[in-house]
Amino acid sequence: MRAAHINGVALHGDAEVLDEAALRQRACTELLRQQAQRAGLLDSTDTPQDGMPSEAAVAAIDRLLEAALALPEPDEAACRRHHAAHAARYRQGERVQARHILLAVTPGTPLAPLRQRAEALLLEVRAEPALFAERAAALSNCPSGEAGGQLGWLTAAEVAPEFGRELFGHPEVGVLPRLVHSRFGLHVVEVLARDVGEDQPFEAVQGAVRQALQQQVFATALRQYLQQLAGQAQVVGVALEAADTPLVQ
């Protein structure tokens, strides 16, 4: 099968198979690499190796984004509004007591059958939570399975971010109604107890609030810039959002 490509530059080798998210990431990186060349920030002879950018390309992309993205600094009023609307994000001492069953995703693992097994397991333990420890001991690919899947008390800083978003982003106690996806695989999770912690005044967390807003602004600007680049490129074999408006110089 022919490799996906951006303006004729392949994103992967003929034998390499990437999932959709990884392919989009490579496509976005390649759009930026080529724009860095057009902007004179990267030697025209630079080429990716098996879809991966060179160290010089990574540095050039950083310089490109610094020059191309207009990133307004959030003022105090915006920071205070954000804090008031998202006070729960900045609580200190928030903890969750949980247990899980991990069905690990390893290289070569067929994802569809694994997801079917995980969904069936989720339905089973939601219907009969008393089976959770037994199923964890028998099926979990985590050492915690020997203890019935017990993870103990957890803070957001102690878990992978994608796991923490599901664990701390909802108020439920009990078996979560959907699978939790992480870099380790698919998790069936039961929240046994929650300690909500204490809300923090704006003055105590204003640095974290400002950083969160800066990250939001950067993500929005980068997404729009990539849409503009995709709208001017020949994109084959990968789905990217594209804008028809000219690039902002």
Mean pLDDT taken over the chain: 90
Of the candidates 180, 192, 100, 84, the residue with the CA atom closest to the CA atom of residue 144: 100
pLDDT band at 110 (very low <50, low <70, confident <90, very high): confident
Distance CA 180, CA 103 (A): 11
The answer to whether 237 touches 24, Cβ cutoff 8 Å, is: no
In the three-class reduction of DSSP (H, G, I as helix; E, B as strand; rest coil), residue 156 is classed as helix
User: CB neighbours (10 Å) of residue 137?
Assistant: 15
The answer to whether 217 touches 74, Cβ cutoff 8 Å, is: yes
Strand partners, 92: 198
Please give the pLDDT value at position 169. Answer: 81
Structure tokens at 234: 């020949």
Please give the pLDDT value at position 248. Answer: 36
Distance CA 8, CA 248 (A): 24
Structural domains in the chain plus CATH codes: 5-73+209-236 (no CATH), 93-195 (3.10.50.40)
Write the pLDDT tens digit of every residue in 121-163: 999 999 999 999 999 999 999 999 999 999 999 998 899 989 9
Write the pLDDT tens digit of every residue in 186-219: 999 999 999 888 889 999 999 999 999 999 999 9
Please give the pLDDT value at position 245. Answer: 47
Q: What percent of the chain has pLDDT over 90?
A: 69
Rounded to whole angstroms, what are the CA distances from 118 to 97, 134, 187?
21, 15, 8
**DSSP 8-class letter at 246:** P
The answer to whether 187 touches 179, Cβ cutoff 8 Å, is: yes
* pTM reported for the whole predicted model: 0.62
Strand partners, 101: 188
Mean per-residue pLDDT for 77-95? 90
